[in-house]
Amino acid sequence: MRILFYGGREWGYSQDLYNHVFKLMGAKQHKTKVGVDLRYIAEAMSQEFDLIWCEGEASHVACLLHYLSKTYTLGPLKGLYRSGKAKIISRFHYHDVKPYLEEFTWKAIMALTYSDQAVCVSEYWRREIMKFLPVFKDFVDIKIVHNGVDTTKYVPNYGAKENKTIFYLAITDRRKRLHLLIQAMKYLKDWKLYIGGKGKDFEVTTEEWEDRTVPPEYRGSKTYWEWCHKLSEPYTNQIQWTGFLSEEEKIKMYQRATVFCLPSRIESWGVTPMEAMACGTPAVVPDVGGLPEFVPQRQLLPVTPTPKQIAQKIIEVQNHSEWNDINRKIAQTYDWKETAKEVRTVIDNVMNFN
């Protein structure tokens, strides 16, 4: 089967899915591009594919080209579109459904209408998209394809485990609510916090997710990152900023940590909590988005936690070392091999449907 994987850049949900699943299937990748993607149009028209798997907002380009090739006015040009018979599968995974739909409503409608199969990364995404676009509820059957984790690489090393150590990792904007974790150090006097990653240059959000605990002057992505650094100054003996980490360094930090904490206000799934759990490190996260679909209930924070509540939950998790193995076992059920099975089931159903 000739498959074109349309999505991904250098990192992220889409690139991970290609690297761990579609690349092994022999699929060709066309990475997404901001703006009109003329290279994709040229590739889809000049080469013949049986299946085009689209990630995120890239799907609208594939669906639009597919639709136009079937219209009456373009009938004589059908022969130039060599992938005209290809099936199209579109997967949604933007971190928050509402701003995605507000920003890209017509793209989502195009993908839902003209894809042969719509797919989401989590039950949260499927539920929310039907809430915001209820017209599709009766005739669009959205399937789930999770992002996975390599449980042969992300493994526990309990000999490296350090006591009273917290690890945070993200490309940080206000959505991650890092400031709450830093402020929680007030109640964690003898703990260490390692902050990995970097600041984000932009973010798309909605008013309902706006965090009122962030002063207005620090609500820009760059200024928020600077503010978090300023908040950490009283805790120089407790907080270490690691900056960017290689995959090997990241795994070692997961293995060292007592607890992984990501106090995000919304996550469509949650790659870093899953990676931490695969390393036998319990993830402490809010009860939002797709996170409660795999993080145990007893490790969940309130939707809008206070710094004190974050500290209390971290201490609670530390007191239950048996949760380390429980988290590892959960992560193993989301290994990339399981994701590959989900992908193959979706593809087989689409290709065998007449």
Q: Are residues 65 and 167 in the same domain?
A: no
pLDDT in tens, 77-86: 555 566 778 8
Q: Which range of residues forms the domain containing residue 122?
A: 3-148+335-351
**Whether residues 196 and 54 fall in one domain:** no
Same domain, residue pair 186 and 95: no
Q: Please tell me whether residues 176 and 310 are part of one structural domain.
A: yes
For the entire predicted model, the pTM comes to 0.91
Structural domain count, the chain = 2
Instruction: Indicate whether 320 and 343 sit together in one domain.
Output: no
Within a domain: 280: yes
The pLDDT tens digits for 122-157 are 999 899 888 888 888 888 899 999 999 999 999 999
Q: Say whether both 162 and 310 belong to one domain.
A: yes
pLDDT of residue 71: 63
Read off the amino acid at residue 48.
Answer: E
Q: What is the mean pLDDT of the chain?
A: 89
**Same structural domain, 318 and 341:** no
Count of other CB atoms within 10 angstroms of residue 135: 10
pLDDT at residue 62, as a whole number? 82
Rounded distance between C-alpha atoms, residue 271 and residue 19, angstroms: 15
The Cα–Cα gap between 51 and 87 comes to 5
Residue 351's pLDDT is what? Answer: 93
Question: What pLDDT score does 208 carry?
Answer: 56
User: Is 153 within a domain?
Assistant: no
> Over the range 58-87, which residues count as b (16 or more CB within 10 Å of their CB) and which as e?
bbbbbbbbbeebeeeeeeeeeeebebbebb
User: Do 318 and 282 share a structural domain?
Assistant: yes
